[in-house]
Amino acid sequence: MNGRKTMITLIVLFTAVSAGMACVAGIRSGMDSRTFAFVTPRGETLELQSEGIYRYNPRWFVAEGIGWDIATLVVGIPVLLVSLVVFIRGSLRGGVVLGGMLAYFAYQYLMYVTGWTYNNFFLLYVALYSLPIVALILVVQEIGIDTLARRVSEKSPRKGLAGFMFFSAGLLLLMWLGKIVPALIRGETPEMLRGVNTLIAQALDLGIIVPFTLAAGILLLRRNAWGYLLASVGIVKLVMMALAIIAMVVVRSMAQGAMSWPEIIIFAVIALVGTSFLVALLRSLEPQNSKRAV
């Protein structure tokens, strides 16, 4: 195993162990039902978590965090570790999935370090979003952009995958701008703020995910080598994000006493469609000795 793979392995193992600790602490914190009332500067009366690592956060926000933690603990960490093992053995498919999972962890903990009220895991959150970015860069270097492009066969779902990238970007734009812009026009704060300081998830989606997926779709249609890389990473990230949002909505709905079926159904469909595209993409990767150029 070369030095680059050794560094990737160390970062992934650190990420898996540390994220596992953070998820367990978060779930335990959210299971504590003790809260206290707090009136925000905007005049909103909220029930804030009073114990655990998520204390001083709105109870509804904590419920969403538990859902995200469950998805990461049950699905994210195992997939991260399995993809690492397969990648270390020389599999390009393993590298594709590993890159997407590292992007997922970087996104999650960037959201955590900027979204949660300061807690004792602050520095751990910083490491959990920054180190996966380093590992992702190393994985891309190990795979090689041109190598990935050459290994993608003509049977790859290039146009369909590009369409899915555009659809995901459009959905996020409609979801968030449809709520933010009308509130701005009326001179009001968006209803989804609900006591938190700002719209963290919306800022990351609009500022990172939307440009990323649009660029991936455009480059795919142009058969650019970077398009295959961005789409490969993006499809894994989007599938994991959809699963995490489903878990988040389910836990939040259970806490509120009313299941939000439209959200669950929408993101379940996205997860299923995204998974089908991911499987098709992985199957389209030709053996290493193939000389086909796409």
* Secondary structure (3-state) at 35: strand
Q: Strands 35-39, 45-49: parallel, antiparallel or unpaired by DSSP?
A: antiparallel
Q: Is the pLDDT of residue 93 over 90?
A: yes
Going through the chain in order, the beta strands assigned E by DSSP cover: 35-39, 45-49
- Above pLDDT 70, what percent of the chain? 98
Closest by CA to 216, choosing from 165, 141, 164, is: 165
Q: Which two tokens stand for residue 188?
A: 């009001």
Longest dimension (CA), the chain: 65
Q: Are 28 and 114 in contact (CB under 8 A)?
A: no
Residue ranges of domains in the chain: 3-283
Q: What's the whole-number mean pLDDT along residues 36-41?
A: 89
d(CA 93, CA 148): 10
Least confident of 87-96, 130-139, 156-165, 193-202: 193-202
The pLDDT, as a whole number, for residue 292 is: 44
pTM: 0.93
Q: Each residue of 248-272: pLDDT tens digit?
A: 999 988 887 788 888 899 999 999 9
Q: Is the pLDDT of residue 294 over 70?
A: no
* Secondary structure (3-state) at 45: strand
Q: What's the whole-number mean pLDDT along residues 184-192?
A: 91
Q: What's the whole-number mean pLDDT along residues 197-213?
A: 94
* 289 pLDDT tier (thresholds 50, 70, 90): low
